[in-house]
């Protein structure tokens, strides 16, 4: 299933918050200028969009800074990685306890 894919630009505030959360080892150059929602299509009035921003340096379990946003607010948050694998051993690229179906790397185009 194609993702929601709602786009949003990363403003300076979001970039600053992301780098604070990810710590001094993080690399600002890894941040894209804009991101798109990685969840399945959803009701945008009740559920925030979500996009991966930056993995935490040194972490091997998929911990990452995520951007959650809706029409009025955007916030950054550290989330654990979803640890589910599909039968082909592709790991889900979303965060732990995400809503909707898993996002296997092989079936989503970015």
Binding residues vs Zn ion (CB under 5 A): 4, 6, 37, 39, 49, 82, 84, 92, 94, 102
Q: Which of 11, 17, 16, 19 is nearest to 35 (CA)?
A: 11
For 107, the token pair is: 């079936």
- For the chain, the distance separating the N- and C-terminal CA atoms, rounded to the nearest angstrom, is 12
- Give min distance, CB of 100 to Zn ion, in A: 9
- Give min distance, CB of 61 to Zn ion, in A: 14
- Give min distance, CB of 109 to Zn ion, in A: 16
CA angle 64, 95, 73 (to 5 degrees): 80
- Judged by CB, which is closer to Zn ion: 17, or 49? 49
- Judged by CB, which is closer to Zn ion: 20, or 101? 101
- Judged by CB, which is closer to Zn ion: 19, or 50? 50
- Judged by CB, which is closer to Zn ion: 17, or 95? 95
Rg (CA), the chain: 14
* Cα(19)–Cα(22) distance, integer angstroms: 5
- Give min distance, CB of 47 to Zn ion, in A: 7
Do the beta carbons of residue 70 and residue 49 sit within 8 Å? yes
């Amino acid at each position: 299933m194609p993702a929601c894919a709602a786009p949003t630009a990363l403003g300076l505030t979001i970039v600053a918050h992301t780098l604070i959360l990810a710590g001094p080892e993080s690399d600002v150059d890894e941040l894209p200028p804009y991101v798109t929602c990685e969840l399945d299509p959803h009701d945008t009035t009740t559920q925030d969009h979500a996009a991966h921003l930056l993995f935490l340096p040194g972490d091997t379990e998929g911990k990452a800074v995520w951007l959650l946003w809706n029409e009025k607010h955007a916030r950054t948050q550290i989330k654990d990685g979803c640890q589910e694998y599909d039968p082909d051993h592709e790991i889900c690229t979303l965060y732990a306890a995400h809503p909707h179906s898993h996002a296997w790397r092989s079936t989503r185009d970015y």
